[in-house]
A and B are shown apart, each in its own frame.
Chain A
Amino acid sequence: MKEIQRVSPVVFKSTPVKTKTRDNWEVVMEYSEEGDGPFLVDLSHRPRFDLQDSNLAAQKPFGIEIPETPGICVLEKGVLANRMNGTQVSLYNLDSDDTAVMPDESGYTDVTESTMCVALIGKNVFSICEKLTALDFMDPQRKAPFLFQGPFSHVPCQIVTLSKEGDISGLVLTCSRGYGRDMIHSILHAGEEFKLTPAGENRFTNWIKEL
């Protein structure tokens, strides 16, 4: 039998120049002609967990103190914890060293496969966003990182803004996996005028380190 390979819901037409196999995913580290940004990076292979508990205050996933207010996020040790509502938090493992394994407790569900996940980073990312959603990323009252649960290109998404600072702006977006094809098409279409290009995971890893 052949080697088992996992398939990401995100498909770019660009040519990969560097890849790495990780947990049966073939992760593209770099694409040819990545340009100067903004960049679109596929993170669908990064582990993502759903944690629901009526007493979230008592939970410390990966040692992280969960923010109390819905819409607030924390990024600690490569894990992004996004408070969704009174009883729910979503956890994204953005650390490519891949240390976080889902705790074996009933409140957790592995939802890596439920969504497609991309990062949109670099200059003009919010100019791209405003072509696709009415959500107000530049609201001065929202301090990064913060979570939006709302429509993006007509599809309900979770969007975590990690930086609103000019050229290092960036966000991570997840939506139902099935929408992967059309969501990527929408984002790339909207980003065309800003020269948005697909980029490999390295681009994201370097970017997040600078935050």
Chain B
Amino acid sequence: MALTITCPICGKRNGYEFKFGGEEKGPRPEEKDLTPEAWCDYVHMNKCVAGVQQEWWFHKDGCGSWFPIYRDTTTNLEQEDQKATNQEGKNDEQV
């Protein structure tokens, strides 16, 4: 497998120039009344999608920018059509 990542500044490059930065979870939550569950959900919890997910990457050996991409976790290929599998989650709240 050879990962390539398309950096918005430097273009398509060897994936090892980059560092993975987690699933896209949106901006930092407001601190007021943030419950331990909600905090933990933001900081630690993942959907672990086997499919396309939106996620962050950092061009560590290159221009040093952070940017989100869509990638299929079952193939490691970047996706241009930009649709995440399971984006809403079937059952986002705990049962």
A and B touch in the complex (CB under 8 A): yes
Which B residues touch A101, using CB under 8 A?
none
Q: Which 9 A-B pairs have the closest CB atoms?
A: A156-B61, A151-B61, A149-B62, A70-B9, A85-B9, A149-B63, A85-B63, A150-B62, A134-B14
B3 contacts partner chain A, Cβ-Cβ < 8 Å = no
A-facing mask of B10-44, CB < 8 A → 1, else 0?
11011001000000000000000000000000000
Q: Which among B9, B17, B64 has the highest number of chain A CB atoms within 10 Å?
A: B9
Chain B residues engaging chain A, CB cutoff 8 angstroms = 9-11, 13-14, 17, 59-65
> Do B9 and A150 have beta carbons less than 8 Å apart?
no
Which A residues touch B17, using CB under 8 A?
150-151
A14 to chain B, nearest CB (A): 31
- Chosen A-B contacts, 22 in total, with CB atoms closer than 8 Å, are A70-B9, A70-B10, A71-B9, A71-B10, A71-B11, A84-B9, A84-B63, A85-B9, A85-B64, A86-B9, A148-B10, A149-B9, A149-B59, A149-B62, A150-B13, A150-B17, A150-B62, A151-B17, A151-B61, A156-B60, A156-B61, A156-B62
A160 to chain B, nearest CB (A): 14
Chain A residues engaging chain B, CB cutoff 8 angstroms = 70-71, 84-86, 134, 148-151, 156
Which B residues touch A70, using CB under 8 A?
9-10, 63
Task: Specify the main secondary structure of chain A where it touches its partner.
Answer: strand
> For the complex, what is the distance from the CA of A84 to the CA of B11, rounded to whole Å?
12
Our count of residue pairs bridging A and B at CB distance below 8 angstroms stands at 32
Nearest residue in B to A83 (C-beta to C-beta)? B9
Known: A85-B9, A149-B59, A156-B60. 6 other contacts (CB 8 A): A71-B11, A134-B14, A149-B61, A150-B17, A150-B61, A156-B62
Which A residues touch B65, using CB under 8 A?
85
B58 to chain A, nearest CB (A): 12
> For the complex, what is the distance from the CA of A78 to the CA of B62, rounded to whole Å?
25
Which B residues touch A156, using CB under 8 A?
60-62
> For the complex, what is the distance from the CA of A71 to the CA of B63, rounded to whole Å?
10
Cβ contact of B10, chosen from A86, A134, A149, cutoff 8 A: A149
Which B residues touch A84, using CB under 8 A?
9, 63
